[in-house]
Amino acid sequence: MRVRFYNGRILAMDGDMEVRRGEVWVQGNRIVYVGENGVQEGGKAGSQAVLRGEMSWDREIDLDGNLIMPGFANAHTHSAMTFLRSYADDLPLQEWLEKQVFPMEAKLTGEDIYELSKLAILEYLTSGITSNFDMYFHPEMIARASIDCGFRTVMVSSLNNFNSSPEEMEQEYLRFRDYHELIGYQLGFHGEYTTSEELLKKVAALSEKYQAPVFAHNSETRREVEECIGRHGKTPTAYLDSLGMFQYGGGGYHCIHMTDEDIRIFRDRGLTAVTNPGSNTKLSSGIARISDMLDAGVRIAIGTDGPASNNCLDMFREMFLVTGLAKLKEENAAAVPAGEVLKMAVSGGARGMGLTDCGCLAEGKLADLIVVDLKQPNMQPINNVVKNLVYSGSKANVKLTMVNGRVLYEDGKFFVGTEPEEIYEKASRIMKRMME
């Protein structure tokens, strides 16, 4: 497909946050031109010398002044947990996991995860999310759902004392890292508190063997940190680092109860702290030290977490909470400005997930992009597009979501190979069976 987006505002995020007027061309799954409107007949468009006069378009989209920008990268989620949306609520994390989540998850089949992941993908698309970092069971089913829908997913192992093994994770790593252009895989484990030291040492050995990053839940609750200190005399971050876990990078999900030493380790190891403010707020886990991490030079990304703990897969809400909660925590309205938050949601997530060809609009990059409707009341007047996106933007403003050069969502309609009503019906049937 050759698609031309023209007559729009462009937020390329390719080195600055400036909004320019212009157009974007997509050929296949790549961006081939980002620049001014009205390239003259025969004029060059970038080093690939795609000529305006020679280009025949499959589709030309008049943006009519609306915004085109790179899609959001959801850097931590458990997609198939859609089945628990609004089922296990109003409980603290440990009780929520042990009494509600784990017993229900034991009833899941691989086919369930396939169908439930597709439901999450629909919601990602409505929120302008073009890739996700998915930690859940049955990776083959997650991969199949993403490929069938045309969505980009990087999977990460959820190894712990109760499921999987280092040997199985290694097999999955070798299988899925080059499985499909839409699929990636990273080493990982659920968390220190669910994974024995014997297993953790084997994960660190795999990281050393493949010189690969490692990801896990980290310092999500005060109880988690205190119990880790009781077991090992160290915080989760310091303990894992002492095992050689982060020699090749990686990151942590939540990262709320971080000490100054933890923050230094994240900075020095080049780790990504993935903040999940919606889930953290709902589970009353705490407020992450985002301002301190930014000041220290820590890489930060944003994730929605799963739809059981959030319950909404909405990057706009997450962005507002990142900055809003930081301002409250610091008692400083200038803390964590909008531009930094938008970088976390786009390039920060892409970088953390290893998606080096995503995260900006530039020639040669993958065509993972969104169109944002600026002609709605919440985006007017257009005094500052970046601040509007973070402080007043909504998933209702997402007009179009393109992944890998394919339009998967546009003006309320999905193009994922299955009618949404069928996906909704199957999800309801799965939950009904499990409740019985």
pLDDT in tens, 171-217: 999 999 999 999 999 999 999 999 999 999 999 999 999 999 999 99
pLDDT at residue 49, as a whole number: 41
| 43, pLDDT greater than 90 | no
If pLDDT is split at 50, 70 and 90, which confidence band does 50 have? very low
* 201 within 8 A of 243, measured Cβ to Cβ: yes
**Radius of gyration of the chain measured on its C-alpha atoms:** 21
Same fold, 2-70+358-414 and 72-353: no
Q: Selecting from 3.40.30.10, 2.160.10.10, 2.30.40.10, 3.30.360.10, what CATH number does the domain 2-70+358-414 have?
A: 2.30.40.10
pLDDT at residue 388, as a whole number: 98
Which residue stretches of 255-337 are H helix?
260-269, 277-282, 290-296, 315-330
| Encoded tokens for 303 | 């994730």
Mean per-residue pLDDT, 84-91:
83
Rounded distance, CA 144 to CA 153, Å? Answer: 10
Top-tier CATH class for 72-353: alpha beta
pLDDT at residue 282, as a whole number: 92
If pLDDT is split at 50, 70 and 90, which confidence band does 53 have? low
* 252 within 8 A of 217, measured Cβ to Cβ: yes
pLDDT at residue 89, as a whole number: 82
Rounded to the nearest 10 degrees, the angle between the axes of helix 110-126 and helix 420-435 is: 130
Q: How is the chain split into domains, by residue range?
A: 2-70+358-414, 72-353
pLDDT in tens, 100-130: 888 888 899 999 999 999 999 999 999 999 9
| Encoded tokens for 98 | 């042990």
pTM recorded for the entire structure: 0.95
Q: Is 422 exposed, middle or buried (0-12, 13-18, 19+ CB in 10 A)?
A: exposed
